[in-house]
Chain A
Amino acid sequence: MRAIVIEDDIDIQQQIVTRLKSEGFAVDSADNGDEGLYLMQEFPADVAIVDLGLPRMSGLEVIKRIRERGNKVPILILTARGRWQDKVEGLDAGADDYLVKPFHHEEMMARIRVLIRRASGWSDSRILCAPVTLDTATQRTYVDEREVDLTAFEYKVLEYLMLHAGEVISKSVLTEHLYDDESDNDSNVIEVFIRRLRQKLDPAEDLKPIETLRGRGYRFTLKRVEQH
């Protein structure tokens, strides 16, 4: 998952970035509205955390502009004042949720996970493409009732594919959303992880959950099951 953090207070920004990275996110950050807008336009992200009171360009303006361009990235706004006026303005401008400072990081992470899931059409924290279940809250994976032991990176790959189940995800998109830096961005590594995932999820090779489309990317083929 790739997140963009736009927050002018460096301490808070670093805390958020650290927390996100520890949760396996690839993170870009900016400390002003101008740069934040640039990041959001140039790098596709799965979630953006935007402070409302930013120098150079207000968070509200950043959100408005990004929405004007048709960018649908889920946006979580941070507001210090916490007045409903600010919240409503932010949500009206196109934000999806808000957090009032100060906030606990668990709360922030919970909101971010909800936003990401929601953006791919999932409403529950348990993502189910029978028989594979991904519990995004606990970051555990099950095939039927059997828990599958995945490494952090394997989990990240599977989560991204399952969130976008049914869609074709190119290798470059996958690397973009999973890697922090461009330096170790080697598409061969992705292939390795895909292979390992297939072995772990489908040792008997009868499910075939991940399909390879030559020259286009991968697709998670198992059908989404909504739990409502």
Chain B
Amino acid sequence: MKSIKSRLTLVSMVVLVIFMVLTAVALERAVVERALQAEEDGLQLLIYSLLAAVNRDADGLEITVSADRLFEPDLITRNSGLYALLYDRDNREIWRSRSITIGFPAIAPGELGEWQFETTQHLATPYFRLGFALQWPDSNNKLRRYDVVVWRNAVDYFEQLNRFRQTLWAWLIVTTLLLLVVMYLVTRWSLRPLQKIGLEVKAIEDQRQTGFEQQYPSEIAPLTENLNILLKREQYQRQRYRNAMDDLAHSLKTPLAVLTGLGDQLQLEQSQIETLREQTDRMNQIVSYQLQKASSVAEMSISKPVDLIAIIEKLLSALEKVYREKQVRVERSLPATMALRMDEGDCLEIVGNLLDNAFKYGNSRISVLVEMDEMSRSINMVVEDDGEGLEDKEIEQILNRGTRLDEATEGQGIGLAVVADIVDSYSIELGFGRGKLGGLQVSLKFQKS
């Protein structure tokens, strides 16, 4: 039994069904008992009224029942289903009601003053039978024993009872089903926060959010709050690590700058200057690469989407300023906005490096295209320039992390390597080719979140 929901549903189902069956049985028994009691009471009443209608002759030996004093018409109507018989002490029938058309067996006489009530079968028909033994004094004041027996046809009674049973069970089943549905819904509703937690955990895993953001019931809130604290602490640790890396690389940059400056100043032999430059450049390259890598926050959770177009425009206006002399014409094919779930710094880094390269290596034209691919739910970005372009081998070299493509141009290799690195950690597809403008074409495919 894997899910809490199925456990709860199963247990509540079993308990509910048992409860309902027991209720039904108890209810039915109570009703049957009550009905039998009512029948018995009714027959008792009949016997009393019968006795009240009894006439005796002077010596008390002849007993008759005057029909006009019988207020139970069923005793007079033939075959009414209600029959009365009177027996003397020898168990001889001395009177029978007019309703009787068949014979009834005499019963074993009971104790004086005792009521004998039974449900019995006679001629394949169910009957209630009530017997009562009493004594009357004759003319000699001698007490004589008599037995009164009343039979009532019970077919109707059993039919009614069956109808009652059917109705009872039908309603109980309907109620049970209804309750089961309600309980299932209640269980689902109560367990929904757990489902929500599951979804949020998935979102945290997918870096779509940094922690639990939803409101939870008081039983679960402590859990999510503590998890949030844990997540924050973990992020803080990572941030600290990144800051340490960043500070380390940054603090190395200043002495490197001094060394580089020194190399520019010293009156050294050309070869020595070259060695000095080569080494400082290499150090710079390593530090730069590590610095960029440390700064990349791809693995961090991201909550706010950035607008790719705003970032492109921001960079274009900055680059148009820097490369004003080149009078580069930028052809834009951009939608108004394009939301992207990504760290803004990383996005700036990728797009900045690509656009910077286009400005640097293009002659006079570059083109930037962003479009939504509805089919694959991805965002495509293509940057092209009209420069020399790159050979496959050169592209391979660039992607080979930090390899410098062109010594004369600052940061080129690192730039593209950094792009490749960030792109990797976001699982963005990066492609190179030759574009319509004749130069390098770089395409990015972002998965839409």
Contacts and interface: CB of A to CB of B under 8 A. Distances in A.
B258 A11 contact: yes
B295 A81 contact: yes
B411 A100 contact: yes
B253 interface: yes
A91 B321 CA distance: 8
B348 to A, nearest CB: 4
Given A80-B254, A83-B292, A105 B324 contact: no
Contact of A97 (B246, B262, B322, B345): B322
A172 interface: no
Interface string A208-228: 000000000000000000001
A105 B264 contact: yes
A159 B197 CA distance: 71
Nearest to A81: B250
A9 interface: yes
Given A92-B314, A118-B324, A84 B352 contact: yes
B315 to A, nearest CB: 6
Interface string B389-407: 0000000000000000000
Nearest to B256: A102
A101 interface: yes
Interface in A179-198: none
A31 to B, nearest CB: 13
Given A84-B348, A84-B349, A91-B321, A104 B260 contact: yes
Interface string A83-97: 111011001100011
A88 B261 contact: no
B288 interface: yes
Contacts, number: 100
A114 interface: yes
Interface string A1-27: 000000001011001101100000000
Interface size class of A (residues with CB under 8 A): 20 to 34
B417 to A, nearest CB: 13
A12 B349 CA distance: 27
B253 A102 contact: yes
Contacts of B265: 15, 18-19, 105
A105 B325 contact: no
Interface in A34-55: none
Contacts of A81: 246, 250, 253, 291, 295
Contact of A103 (B254, B257, B344): B257
A124 B411 CA distance: 25
Contact of A114 (B259, B314, B325, B327): B325
Given A19-B264, A104-B264, A9 B352 contact: no
B322 A91 contact: yes
B314 A105 contact: no
A15 to B, nearest CB: 4
Given A84-B349, A85-B348, A101 B253 contact: yes
B348 A82 contact: no
Secondary structure type dominating chain B contacts: helix
A9 to B, nearest CB: 5
Interface in A107-131: 107, 114, 118, 123-124
A102 B325 contact: no
B321 A101 contact: no
Contact of B253 (A80, A92, A96): A80
A96 B321 contact: yes
Nearest to B349: A84
A107 B407 CA distance: 13
Contacts of B410: 100, 103, 107
Interface in B349-399: 349, 351-353
Contact of B261 (A12, A80, A82, A96): A12
A63 to B, nearest CB: 13
B303 interface: no
Nearest to B288: A82
A118 B325 CA distance: 8
Nearest to A125: B325
A155 interface: no
A98 B322 contact: yes
A206 interface: no
B318 interface: yes
A104 B292 CA distance: 21
Given A15-B265, A102-B259, A102-B280, A88 B253 contact: no
B320 to A, nearest CB: 10
B284 interface: yes
Residue from A15, A101, A102 having most chain B Cβ neighbours under 10 A:
A102
Contacts of A145: none
| Ranked 10 nearest A-B pairs via Cβ | A84-B352, A15-B261, A102-B257, A102-B260, A91-B318, A105-B264, A101-B257, A84-B348, A80-B253, A11-B258
Given A15-B261, A106-B264, 19 more contacts: A9-B257, A12-B261, A81-B250, A81-B295, A82-B291, A82-B411, A83-B348, A84-B351, A85-B348, A87-B318, A88-B318, A91-B317, A96-B322, A97-B321, A101-B254, A102-B280, A102-B284, A104-B260, A228-B327
25 contacts: A11-B258, A12-B261, A16-B261, A19-B261, A80-B253, A81-B291, A81-B295, A82-B292, A83-B295, A83-B349, A85-B345, A87-B318, A88-B314, A88-B315, A91-B317, A97-B322, A98-B322, A100-B288, A102-B257, A102-B280, A104-B277, A105-B261, A105-B264, A114-B325, A118-B324
Interface of A: 9, 11-12, 15-16, 18-19, 80-85, 87-88, 91-92, 96-98, 100-107, 114, 118, 123-124, 228
